[in-house]
Structure 1
Amino acid sequence: MEQIHDIPANRPWSGLVKKGQTIRIIDSYGQQAIDTIFYAADDHGERYSSQDTMRVQNGAYITVGTRLISSEGNVMMTVTGDTSGRHDTNAGCCSCESNTVRFGHETRYLHACRDNFIMELAKHGMSKRDIVPNINFFMNVPISQNGAMTIDDGISHPGDYVEMKAEMDVLCVISNCPQINNPCNGFDPTPIRVVITG
C-alpha cells in the first residue's frame, strides 16, 4: 500500500513509518531544504542523533548506505536511495532568533523551521525541548578544511529524492523549510512530496 503526502511550501508534516516500510522524500521543484527529525514511535525519548550518525559513518554527510542512529544507539533508518548525492546533518534548523542574528532585526517576524517543529511536535505531546539537531535533506553545506561551514546554493533538481527503509517504527517530523534569507531554498520555498510504501 502506498501513502502520498503533498506538503505545501513553508509547512510542517508528520507521519508514522512502520518497520520495513520505505519513505521517499521528493524535492518536487529542486533546491528545497527539508528539515527532518525521526523519533521512535513507541518512545519519543529515543530520537535521531546527528552526532552518533556521523560517528558511526565516520562522515559528515548522509547518502546511500548511511544508517541513521538514535540517541540510544539503535539504527532507525537506512538510506537506500539518493539521487541528490549528499545531505547535511550539521547546520540544524533555522529559527526566528538565528534569523535576527544572521540577517537583521527586520527578519525577526519571518516563519522558521523551529516554529514548524514546535507546532507539529505539539500534536504528539512534545514541545520545543524535544527538538534535536536535525537532518537537512537536500541542503548544500560545504565544510572547508578548517571546519568552517557555508550554506550554499542547493544542488538538487526537480524530482530528486532520498529514500529510507525503516529499521524500527518511527515518527517522521518534517519542516518544509520556509527560509528566504539564504540560498538553501533558492530564496523561494516550494512544495515537496512524501511517499510511504510497504
Structure 2
Amino acid sequence: MKPATPETAAPADAEARRALPPVICYPVDSLPPPDLATYRAARATARKTAEIIAPPRQAACFTAPAGSFFRITCTEGPQVGDLNLWNAADLSERFYSGKTRALHGTHLSTGDRLWSSFPALRPMATITEDTLDWYGFDDFGGAVHDVIGTRCDPYTHNLLKGGQYHHCCHSNLTRALATARDMTHAEAEPHIHDVLNVFMCTGFTRDTGQYFMKASPVRPGDYLEFFAEIDLLGALSACPGGDCGSEHSSDTAACHPLQVEIFTPDPAALSGWTPPPRNGYDGSHGA
C-alpha cells in the first residue's frame, strides 16, 4: 500500500511525467468479434438439458459441451459466485483471468470472452447475456463481474484473521472438483485458479489503489449467460460473503444458492460453427 505521505520529494517535472497519456497495452481491434447474432439465433432454438445448484458456502461442478449455453442465475437473494473453467478433456487448459483482464478490462460483460491458459490461449466461453450490464461504473469506480480478485481462500484468511476456515471459495472449489473428478483434495487443489467473480461489485480505491468490494446490485432473476466455445468443465462457488457488502469469508453473512442451467441448441442452428483452435504460436521460444 502506498504511504499516505510520499517519502521522496517530487522532481521539477513531476506534473509533466504524470500528464503523459496512457497507451492501451493490448489493442483488440484485430481480434475477430464474437458472432453474437449467430449465438442468439442458436439460443432461441435451445432446450434446457441440465440444472445444477451451488448451495450457500459450497460449490458445484457442471459440464457444458461446446456449442451449448450455460446460465448462472441469482435465485433467492443477493449472492456472488466464483467461477472456474477447464477444458473438460484436459484440466491443464483452464481459464486465464489475468490475460482476460489484459484483453477486455477489469470487469466483463456481453461480448467479452473468457480466455484459456498458455499454450492454448483461445476463447473458452463468450458472454452472450448480462442482466446487470446497466450498472456500468459507479462513483466509487466499482463495477460488476470482475477479473481482478483472485478468490477468497483459507490461507489469506489465516494470515489476516487466524483460524482454520474451510468454506472460502478456494476450498469450496477444491472440494467440488475433487468430487467431480474422483480426486483427493491434494490432487484437486493445484487445478483451482483465479476466477471470474460473477455478480461481485468491485474496484480499486483511488487514494491507496486497494481492491475493494461493495454490496452487489444483483437481485433474484438476474443472470449471466455464456456460450461454451469448447467442451467445458465448470465449478461455481456461492461465496461465503453473500453479496460481499461486508466481508467475504463469513459464517454470519446472509448467503443464498446460485443456479447453473445448461441449454442445448438445435445442431442445425450452429451449422458451420466450429470450436476455436488452439493458439497458433509454434512454441519454439526462439530455439
TM-score, scaled to structure 1: 0.89
Alignment partners' CA distance in 1, 2:129 and 2:67: 15
- Please point out which of 88, 108, 127 is paired with 1:79: 127
**Which structure: larger Rg?**
2
Could you say which residue in structure 2 is the equivalent of 1:55? 102
**SS in structure 1 of the partner of residue 201 of structure 2:** coil
For residues 8 and 34 of structure 1, do their structure 2 counterparts lie closer, same or farther at Cα, with a shift above 3 Å needed?
A: same
Task: Check whether the contact 1:33–1:139 (CA below 8 A) recurs between aligned residues.
Answer: yes
- Please point out which of 199, 210, 214 is paired with 1:152: 214
Alignment partners' CA distance in 2, 1:181 and 1:30: 8
Aligned residues with identical type, % of pairs = 27
Could you say which residue in structure 1 is the equivalent of 2:282? none
**SS in structure 2 of the partner of residue 158 of structure 1:** coil
Once structures 1 and 2 are overlaid, which stretch shifts more, 42-51 or 137-146? Answer: 137-146
Task: Check whether the contact 1:177–1:189 (CA below 8 A) recurs between aligned residues.
Answer: yes
Q: Within 5 A, what are the aligned runs for 1:53-132?
A: 53-57=100-104, 59-71=105-117, 72-85=120-133, 86-102=144-160, 104-105=161-162, 108-109=164-165, 111-123=167-179, 124=181, 125=183, 126-132=187-193
Gaps of 5+ in 1: none
For residues 152 and 181 of structure 1, do their structure 2 counterparts lie closer, same or farther at Cα, with a shift above 3 Å needed?
A: closer
Superposed displacement of residue 100, structure 1 = 3.2
Indicate the structure whose relative CO is greater, using CA pairs within 8 Å and at least 6 residues apart: 1
Task: Check whether the contact 1:141–1:151 (CA below 8 A) recurs between aligned residues.
Answer: yes
Q: CA RMSD in A?
A: 2.1
Gaps of 5+ in 2: 1-46, 134-143, 265-287
TM-score, scaled to structure 2: 0.63
**Counterpart check, 1:193 vs 2:259:** yes
Alignment partners' CA distance in 2, 1:20 and 1:137: 21
Q: Where do 4+ consecutive residues of structure 1 move more than 6 Å?
A: none
Task: Check whether the contact 2:101–2:148 (CA below 8 A) recurs between aligned residues.
Answer: no
Superposed displacement of residue 128, structure 1 = 1.1
